[in-house]
């Protein structure tokens, strides 16, 4: 990693929607100064696509393997347990474990509430055993997630809440437990005042920025698939809120990422 490298803390270049465009997407990111892109894990098929992309684009991608709540909701208990067994031996080559967490939106949760909780707990245990920072996906499950984190403990290597889009009170709940917050496209929307307050209040040394590509595009890309080059939109909005230069936001958040992941 070069000294001045800027980092997209969370994206999904292994997403099948991007499969035919990855070379161009990485090229545009590099032109924009975004030289390193941390992935978010979904399930076993995604982990293998990540490994192949990392082979094709050495030094560009950070591997992150985990069982996403979406994936857990779509698979039965036995399949999830088998995937957990497959996850453990892959972790030495990953930077982090995730995405893991809880997503209790009614259209998604189906019959998976208890299964999500159990798989989340098991992955926290794996993150601790493997000394990997954890990448958390928490949607409409704030109190439940805090209970799990307090019972099982935040892994010693800490981690971050990806695509944080909550209130300052919720932000403090995570920050007080030693977790970083990562924000993406939603911060750019002018009406998102609660997230703007979080950015104004929080200590910058615990902030990461992401695109969550191909999802969560900023307003100018709302009809398109998102990509890591749009990290500049996120940095520019944060810079506006904090009265600083966008390049300083990129520099600070990239430094934070390297500290968290011991790079």
Closest alpha carbon to 130 in 65, 78, 81, 178: 65
| pLDDT above 50 (res 3) | no
Gap between the Cα atoms of 155 and 169, Å rounded: 22
Residue 4: per-residue pLDDT: 55
Q: Which residue has the tokens 């900023």?
A: 218
130 pLDDT higher than 80: yes
Average pLDDT over residues 50-68: 98
Question: How many CA atoms, within 13 angstroms, populate the side-chain half-sphere of residue 238?
Answer: 28
Query: 3-class secondary structure for 71-88?
Result: HHHCCCHHHHHHHHHHHH
Structural domains in the chain (count): 1
Has residue 16 got a pLDDT over 60?
yes
Give the per-residue pLDDT at 1: 43
Residue 1 lies in a domain: no
Q: What is the pTM of this model?
A: 0.96
CB contact at 8 A, 115 and 77? yes
pLDDT for position 202: 98
Asked if residue 226 belongs to a domain, the reply is yes
Mean pLDDT of the region 16-27: 96
Q: What is the CATH number of the domain that holds 105?
A: 3.20.20.140
Among 9-13, 62-66, 223-227, the minimum mean pLDDT is found in 223-227
Please, are residues 10 and 38 in contact by the beta-carbon 8 Å criterion? yes
Give the whole-angstrom CA distance, residue 73 versus residue 80.
Answer: 10
Give the pLDDT confidence of 176-211 residue by residue, as tens digits. Answer: 999 999 999 999 999 999 999 999 999 999 999 999
The boundaries of the domain holding residue 186 are 6-260
């Amino acid at each position: 990693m070069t000294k001045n490298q800027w980092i997209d803390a969370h994206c999904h270049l292994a997403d099948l929607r991007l499969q035919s465009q990855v070379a161009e997407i990485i090229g545009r990111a590099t032109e924009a100064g975004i030289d390193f892109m941390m992935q978010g894990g979904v399930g076993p098929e995604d982990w293998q696509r990540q490994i192949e992309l990392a082979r094709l684009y050495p030094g560009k991608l950070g591997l992150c393997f985990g069982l996403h709540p979406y994936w857990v909701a779509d698979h039965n208990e036995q399949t999830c347990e088998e995937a957990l067994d497959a996850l453990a031996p892959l972790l030495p080559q990953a930077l982090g474990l995730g995405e893991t967490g809880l997503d209790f939106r009614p259209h998604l949760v189906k019959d998976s509430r208890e299964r999500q909780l159990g798989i989340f707990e098991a992955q926290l245990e794996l993150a601790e055993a493997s000394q990997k920072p954890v990448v958390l996906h928490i949607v409409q499950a704030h109190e439940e997630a805090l209970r799990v984190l307090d019972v099982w403990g935040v892994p010693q290597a800490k981690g971050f809440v990806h695509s944080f889009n909550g209130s300052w009170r919720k932000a403090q709940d995570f920050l007080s437990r030693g977790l970083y917050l990562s924000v993406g496209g939603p911060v750019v929307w002018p009406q998102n005042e609660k997230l703007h307050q979080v950015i104004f209040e929080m200590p910058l040394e615990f902030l990461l920025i992401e695109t969550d590509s191909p999802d969560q595009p900023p307003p100018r890309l709302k009809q398109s698939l998102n990509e890591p080059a749009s990290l500049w939109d996120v940095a520019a909005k944060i810079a506006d809120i904090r009265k600083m230069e966008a390049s300083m936001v990129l520099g600070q958040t990239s430094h934070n990422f390297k500290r968290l992941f011991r790079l």
